[in-house]
């Protein structure tokens, strides 16, 4: 191949076909970028691992047109139950917990192996095949491209040149090691187990069950097949010494005693240690780290896979913009700025909760068994508490206000916030306008002629929504102008002087926000209250 023209073969080499790499490949391909996806494993994962798929991930999937399929294949968790001394002490309802905040107001349970198969299928529909077993051995960075050495299934080596390399290769990342990027943090002392089992008894009811009894964490989660559950727990210190020979039989008694769960056939049992680490940097020139390669943390709140998918989406549209000449290279720096900050906050929060949940002291045990069942149902009755908890766990509250890409505010919405979701009419909402995975201007209420002119000049689709009181509740301002990024975050929010602010924003950052052939500027397209100019 001609090294002066590496793009002839592959523009982005994606290393790792876990959820992060697969979503990165899907978004880039959707945006017209040629990718190769390699994975050293001979086949896709066959164990369920991550179960929780959060609202923000489903919103991203909706932009690609795959959300309905994912939701249809999963189970909506209806509630969380807290058990103390073998009895159910409290229950909180989860279904529709985020109502009014997103089109996906629940926690979806969808095992990671089935999830990955679905993503591989959609990728294959777009003509991209995961190459496996194909391992990245190493790479050398050149000025305009990265030269990677791969080992293919037959043992032969291949040298491939790509303009960018995305390290989506998990916690033991070859890419991170090759970059010699530090991975500071630590490892918790507990040994954990995970088991997928056939079961019956009260906790086999498609809800989540948590035992608060002791510092030996124990939780039961629904799987998509009836009568199958996931049991996650910590291993007593007295057993942890014989990790290699440990089996579910060693912990089975605890699930019966504490949760009244009768278990049968064990389909998967594994033990693992939990780490909390964030890589020192997520970008070095043309090489990026995403997903578990960039950050690992405790499973509290089911955040790991969802955060990797968020990384993939954040980087995808930026890479596509730079590769198509719609943005300067410095746009790519904002990937690290935006995602490393979130990863650090996440690791710190999950660490605090995890430490409390597994704290062996008497005071912590009293708090767990006494206070939590007493206080949580009451707190859940408070709308503001429920909303805030849902916003945090579902990742719809993730925002990038300090990013150089974020500017201004209008109403309660600041540049960097996720575009608030709002129903516009029966069965329709403003997030439908994000389906194009392109820049867009949103105006809620009447738009001024000057705004329309500025959008037309920039080739920017303008989405107008007739004003409704619910919009104010969502934080939107009547007549305010919101420039929305391809990933659904507000770049610029402007109360007044919107048209000039829009022009200034775009020119200062050297961006092209034109909709590239999707809609020609000036063409009006009315759709459920949305007008695209």
Ligand X SMILES: Cc1cc2nc3c(=O)[nH]c(=O)nc-3n(C[C@H](O)[C@H](O)[C@H](O)COP(=O)(O)OP(=O)(O)OC[C@H]3O[C@@H](n4cnc5c(N)ncnc54)[C@H](O)[C@@H]3O)c2cc1C
Q: Which residues bind ligand X (CB under 6 A)?
A: 15-21, 38-41, 49-52, 112, 135-136, 168-170, 174, 194, 272, 291-292, 299, 302-306, 308
**Please, what is the minimum distance in Å from the beta carbon of residue 221 to ligand X?**
8
By C-beta, is 178 or 471 nearer to ligand X? 178
**Angle, helix 19-30 to helix 55-64, in steps of 10 degrees:** 30
By C-beta, is 4 or 244 nearer to ligand X? 244
Q: List the one residue out of 254, 203, 256 whose CA is nearest residue 230.
A: 203
**Please, what is the minimum distance in Å from the beta carbon of residue 125 to ligand X?**
20
| Separation CA 34–CA 30 (nearest Å) | 10
**Please, what is the minimum distance in Å from the beta carbon of residue 267 to ligand X?**
13
Token representation of residue 472: 């104010």
By C-beta, is 314 or 530 nearer to ligand X? 314
By C-beta, is 240 or 432 nearer to ligand X? 240
CA–CA distance from 462 to each of 290, 499, 512 (Å)? 32, 12, 15
Q: List the one residue out of 459, 462, 450 whose CA is nearest residue 500.
A: 450
**Please, what is the minimum distance in Å from the beta carbon of residue 22 to ligand X?**
7
| Separation CA 489–CA 471 (nearest Å) | 17
Q: Are 415 and 408 in contact (CB under 8 A)?
A: yes
**Please, what is the minimum distance in Å from the beta carbon of residue 35 to ligand X?**
14
**Please, what is the minimum distance in Å from the beta carbon of residue 217 to ligand X?**
13
By C-beta, is 67 or 474 nearer to ligand X? 67
**Please, what is the minimum distance in Å from the beta carbon of residue 477 to ligand X?**
34
| Separation CA 171–CA 226 (nearest Å) | 32
b (16+ CB within 10 A) / e for 480-519: bbbbbbbbbbbbbbbeeebbebbeebbeebebbbbbeeeb
By C-beta, is 211 or 452 nearer to ligand X? 211
Neighbours of 143 (CB within 10 A): 6
| Separation CA 470–CA 337 (nearest Å) | 32
By C-beta, is 338 or 452 nearer to ligand X? 338
**Please, what is the minimum distance in Å from the beta carbon of residue 130 to ligand X?**
9
Alpha helices by DSSP H, 138-219: 174-179
By C-beta, is 109 or 462 nearer to ligand X? 109
3-state helix, strand, coil in the chain (%, to 5): 35, 25, 40
By C-beta, is 348 or 525 nearer to ligand X? 348
Q: Which residues, in sequence order, are bridge partners of residue 187? A: 275
**Please, what is the minimum distance in Å from the beta carbon of residue 458 to ligand X?**
36
By C-beta, is 80 or 483 nearer to ligand X? 80
Q: List the one residue out of 172, 152, 257 whose CA is nearest residue 214.
A: 257
| Separation CA 278–CA 198 (nearest Å) | 36
By C-beta, is 18 or 486 nearer to ligand X? 18
**Please, what is the minimum distance in Å from the beta carbon of residue 230 to ligand X?**
8
Q: List the one residue out of 54, 489, 486, 83 whose CA is nearest residue 301.
A: 54
**Please, what is the minimum distance in Å from the beta carbon of residue 270 to ligand X?**
7
3-state secondary structure of 419: coil
Question: Cis (ω within 30 of 0) for the bond into 133?
Answer: yes
By C-beta, is 196 or 417 nearer to ligand X? 196
Instruction: Work out the burial of residue 14: count CB atoms within 10 Å of its CB; fewer than 13 is exposed, 13-18 middle, 19 or more buried.
Output: buried
**Please, what is the minimum distance in Å from the beta carbon of residue 150 to ligand X?**
8
The vertex-442 CA angle with 54 and 471, nearest 5°, equals: 65
């Amino acid at each position: 191949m001609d090294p002066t023209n590496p793009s002839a073969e592959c523009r982005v080499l994606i290393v790792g076909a876990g959820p992060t790499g697969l979503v990165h490949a899907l978004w880039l391909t959707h945006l017209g970028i040629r990718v190769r996806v390699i994975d050293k494993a001979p086949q896709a994962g066959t164990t369920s691992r991550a179960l929780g798929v959060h609202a923000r991930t489903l919103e991203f999937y909706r932009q690609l047109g795959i959300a309905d399929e994912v939701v249809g294949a999963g189970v909506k968790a209806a509630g969380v139950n807290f058990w103390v001394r073998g009895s159910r002490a409290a229950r909180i309802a989860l279904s529709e917990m985020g109502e009014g905040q997103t089109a996906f107001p629940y926690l979806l349970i969808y095992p990671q192996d089935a999830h990955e198969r679905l993503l591989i299928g959609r990728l294959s529909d777009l003509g991209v095949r995961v190459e496996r077993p194909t391992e990245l051995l190493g790479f050398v960075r050149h000025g305009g491209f990265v030269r990677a050495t791969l080992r293919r299934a037959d043992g032969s080596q291949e040298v491939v040149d790509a303009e960018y390399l995305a390290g989506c290769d998990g916690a033991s990342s070859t890419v991170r090691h090759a970059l010699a990027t530090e991975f500071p943090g630590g490892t918790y002392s507990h040994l954990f187990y995970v088991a997928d089992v056939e079961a019956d008894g009260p906790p086999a009811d498609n809800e989540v069950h948590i035992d608060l009894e002791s510092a030996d964490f124990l939780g039961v989660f629904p799987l998509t097949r009836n009568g199958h559950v996931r049991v996650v727990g910590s291993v007593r210190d007295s057993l942890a010494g014989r990790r290699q020979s440990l089996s579910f039989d060693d912990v089975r008694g605890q699930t019966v005693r504490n949760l009244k769960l009768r278990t049968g056939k064990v389909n998967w049992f594994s033990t693992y240690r939990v780490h909390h680490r964030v890589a020192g940097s997520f970008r070095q020139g043309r090489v990026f780290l995403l997903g578990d390669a960039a950050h690992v943390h405790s499973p509290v709140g089911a955040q790991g896979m969802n955060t990797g998918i968020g990384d993939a989406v954040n980087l995808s549209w930026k890479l596509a913009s730079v590769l198509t000449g719609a943005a300067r290279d410095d746009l790519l720096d904002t990937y690290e700025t935006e995602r490393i900050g979130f990863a650090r906050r996440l690791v710190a929060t999950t660490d605090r909760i995890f430490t409390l949940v597994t704290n062996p002291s008497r005071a912590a045990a009293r708090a767990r068994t006494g206070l939590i069942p007493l206080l949580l149902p009451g707190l859940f009755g408070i709308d503001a508490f429920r909303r805030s908890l849902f916003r945090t766990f579902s990742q719809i509250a993730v925002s990038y206000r300090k990013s150089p890409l974020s500017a201004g505010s209008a109403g309660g919405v600041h540049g960097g916030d996720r575009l608030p979701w709002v129903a516009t009419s029966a069965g329709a909402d403003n997030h439908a306008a994000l389906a194009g995975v392109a820049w867009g201007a949103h105006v809620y209420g009447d738009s001024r002629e000057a705004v329309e002119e500025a959008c037309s000049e920039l080739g920017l689709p303008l989405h107008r929504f007739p004003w409704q009181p619910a919009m104010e509740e969502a934080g939107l301002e009547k007549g305010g102008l919101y420039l929305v990024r391809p990933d659904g975050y507000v770049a610029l929010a402007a109360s007044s002087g919107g048209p000039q602010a829009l022009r200034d924003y775009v020119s200062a950052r050297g961006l092209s926000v034109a909709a590239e052939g999707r809609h020609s500027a000036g063409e009006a397209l009315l759709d459920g209250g949305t007008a695209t100019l």
